[in-house]
Structure 1
C-alpha cells in the first residue's frame, strides 16, 4: 500500500482494508466513521454532537470541533480514500483525559539562522506544504530516479523536490546539529522549529536526533508536530534496516505521546520505535504507564490504524494475540511493576 499524500486531514491510498475488531464504526455522510479511544463519550452521541455543531463540515475536519466545542483534550481525524471510489473511511481519535496530554514548553527567543537554514526556510515559505511532503519521502533522498517517482506520487515537480535535498545537504554537520537542538529548546517561531525538525533528519546516526524528533511531536504547534511525524515516517518507510536507538532518555516525551499528546502521529511514533529496535523492557515500561491509547488503536477496525499498535505489542512482548485486545490488556496487567 503506497502513500500518495499524507497531510493532516485527507489521505489518499491505493487500497484501504478493514476487518472485524472492536472499533466503534458508524455510517457517515461520505462513508464509515470509526471512533477510537473514547471513554466517557458514546460514539453515536459524539457523532450526533459533531453533526449538530458543524453540519456542513467533513468529518476529516472534525477535530477542531471536538477540542473547541466538546471539551476533548486532544483529537485528530483522518480520512482514507480508496483509489477509484468516492467513499472515504474516516478515523476519529479522541483523548478525553487532559492530565495525559502534555505538550512541551517552547522558548521565547528568536535565533539568527545561518544562510543554509534560512534558505531552506525561505524555500518552504515559497512552496507551502512542500517541506512536509519532502519529509515523508526522505527515504528517496540521494536517488534521482526514486525522487522523480516520489514527486509524481506527491503531484509536485521532481526538480523542486530535488532542491529540498540540495538545501538539506548544505546544512553544516558541526554547527547545525547543535543549532537544531537549540532552536527546538529556545526559538519562539514555529516556522523555525519546523525547519529545525526537518534538519534533524541529517543527524539520525546519533540518538539525540531521534530523541529530539519525538520531543518535536509534542510541540504545541501542530505544524511542528506534523513535521516531526513526517520525518519519522520518511526515515522508517523503506525496508532498509535502521540502527538500534537507546530510547530511555526520551521517556518523558514518549509517555506524553502514549498519553495522547499529538495523537495524529501516534502510529508513526510506534513504527519508529519498532524500526529502531526499542528494547522490550523499556517498551513494557511505557505500556504499563500508559496502556489506554495503545490498546484503543490495537482494537481499531481499520487495519492501517491497528497494525502499528499490534506490531509494537508483538515486538515488546514476544507474544502474538493478533486483534484480541482483551488478551493484550491481560498481558499488560500481568507485567511486573
Structure 2
C-alpha cells in the first residue's frame, strides 16, 4: 500500500494543491489495449499496473478491481472495458478510491419480510434465470412492445418469451401497495435476492420521487448484485423515448454525497446521467460539485470519451456553461462557487 509523505512546513501548500486540481488520469499500454487510471492519489499507473500483474497474472486486466480492494488496500475500485468496433483492442478504464473515509456503503437491514405471491414469483424466476432480470431492467423501454422486445431478444441472444414472462410477472405487482412494500424491503430486508427484486419492482413507479431516491440509495448497497440492479433500472427508466419527470433530489443528498465521494465507482457515470436526465436543480447540483469535486473532475478529465461525457454533461447542466474538456476551467469554476 502507498502512503502519503509530507515535508514539515509544506502541508498547507500540499493541501492547497490537492484542492486546486483533481488527480490527472494516467494511461499506459496494457496486454489487450490502453489502460487508463482515473482518480489515483498516491499510486502511479505503472506502479499499480505492475502490482496487479504480479499478484494476479492469470486474470484478465479488466478483473483488477477485486485485486485492488483485496490485496492493495484500495477502499473501492472499478474497472470498465470497452471494445472498439471492428478491432480486438480493449480500452480499460480503472477507477481507484484510496481514501477509506470516502467510501460509505449503506447499512442493510436485518429483517426477513414476507413477500406477496407476485414478488415471490419474481424472486424465484430470478433465481432460475440468473442475470435475466438485470438485463430486463436495462431494456425497460421495450416493455409492452412485442416488436422491440423481439429485436432486443435477437440482439442479446435471449428468448423473447423469457422477456415476455418478465414483463408479465412485473405487471402482477400491485400498483396500489407494492411501491411501499418495495421501499420497505430495500430498507429492512437482509436478503440481497429480495432487495434485488424490490429494486426491479420499483420500475413500476417511476412517477414517484421516492422511487428514484431509493434506487440511488441502493447504488451504495454493499451487495454488488443489488447495486447493479438499481443501476440497470435507473438506466432503463432514463433511456425511454419520453424524458422522465423532474425529480427533487434533496432528500437523497446523503447517498449522493457518498457516490460523489467514491462509494461504488462502478455506477458513478450512471448517477450523473440520471441526475441530468431528471433535471437536477442546478443549485443543489452545484453544492454536490462544490463539496465533493474530486471524482467528478477526475471523470471530466478522463481521456476516454464515454467516461468523461457524463461528468461534462453534469457540469454543463448545473453551471449553464460549456468549458468542454477544459478541466482546469471546470476546476476554477467549481472552486469559485460561494459556500
- Structure 2 length as normaliser, TM-score? 0.92
Q: Which residue of structure 2 aligns with residue 188 of structure 1?
A: 190
- The equivalent of 1:19 in structure 2 is none
Structure 2 residue 229 is matched with structure 1 residue 254? no
Q: Distance in 2 between the 1:60 and 1:162 partners?
A: 33
Within the candidate set 286, 308, 311, 2:310 is matched to 308
Q: Tell me, which stretches of 5 or more residues in structure 2 are unaligned?
A: 1-23
Residue 238 of structure 1 deviates from its aligned partner by: 3.3
2:275: which partner in 1? 273
- Residues 160-210 of structure 1: per-residue CA shift (max 9 Å, x gap): 012111111100012211110110111000000000001111111010000
Select 2:32's aligned residue among 25, 30, 55: 30
Contact 1:133 1:154 in 2 (8 A): no
- Residue number in structure 1 paired with 2:212: 210
Instruction: Identify the residue that residue 56 of structure 1 maps to in structure 2.
Output: 58
The answer (yes or no) to whether the contact 1:218–1:262 under 8 Å persists in 2 is yes
- Work out which of the residue numbers 149, 152, 157 in structure 2 matches 1:150: 152
Q: Judge which range, 154-163 or 201-210, deviates more.
A: 154-163
Match of 1:67 among 66, 69, 76: 69
Q: What pairs with 1:114-129 in structure 2 (closer than 5 Å)? A: 114-129=116-131
Deviation, 1:222, is 0.6
Cα contact 2:25–2:40 (8 A) shared by 1: no
3-state SS, counterpart of residue 62 of structure 1: helix
Report the equivalent of 2:13. Answer: none
Cα contact 1:180–1:199 (8 A) shared by 2? yes
Secondary structure at the residue paired with 2:177? helix
Aligned to 1:13: none
**Equivalent position of 1:172 in the other structure:** 174
1:162 is matched with which residue?
164
- The unaligned stretches of length 5 or more in structure 1 are 1-21
Aligned 8 A contact 1:33 1:92 in 2 = yes
* 1:222-256 CA distance string (max 9 Å, x none): 11001111111111123421111000000001000
Report deviation, 1:85: 2.1
1:110 corresponds in structure 2 to 112
Larger Rg: 2
User: How many angstroms apart in 2 are the aligned matches of 1:290 and 1:141?
Assistant: 37
Q: Is the 8 A contact 1:23 1:34 kept in 2?
A: yes
Change (3 A) 1:110 1:170: same
d(CA) in 1 for partners of 2:316, 2:211: 26
Q: What SS class does the counterpart of residue 176 from structure 2 fall into? A: helix
Verify: 1:91 aligned to 2:93, yes or no. Answer: yes
Q: How many Å separate the matches in 1 of 2:139 and 2:288?
A: 29
Equivalent-residue separation in structure 2 for 1:155 and 1:289 (angstroms): 44
Structure 1: distance between partners of 2:264 and 2:257: 12
Please, which moves more after superposition, 314-323 or 156-165? Answer: 156-165
Post-superposition shift, 1:322? 0.6
Cα contact 2:136–2:163 (8 A) shared by 1: yes
CA distance in 1, matches of 2:155, 2:286: 37
Aligned to 2:8: none
2:182–2:201 Cα contact (<8 Å) kept? yes
Match of 1:132 among 131, 134, 137: 134
Q: Assess, with a 3 A threshold, how the Cα gap between structure 1 residues 82 and 155 changes in structure 2: closer, same or farther.
A: farther
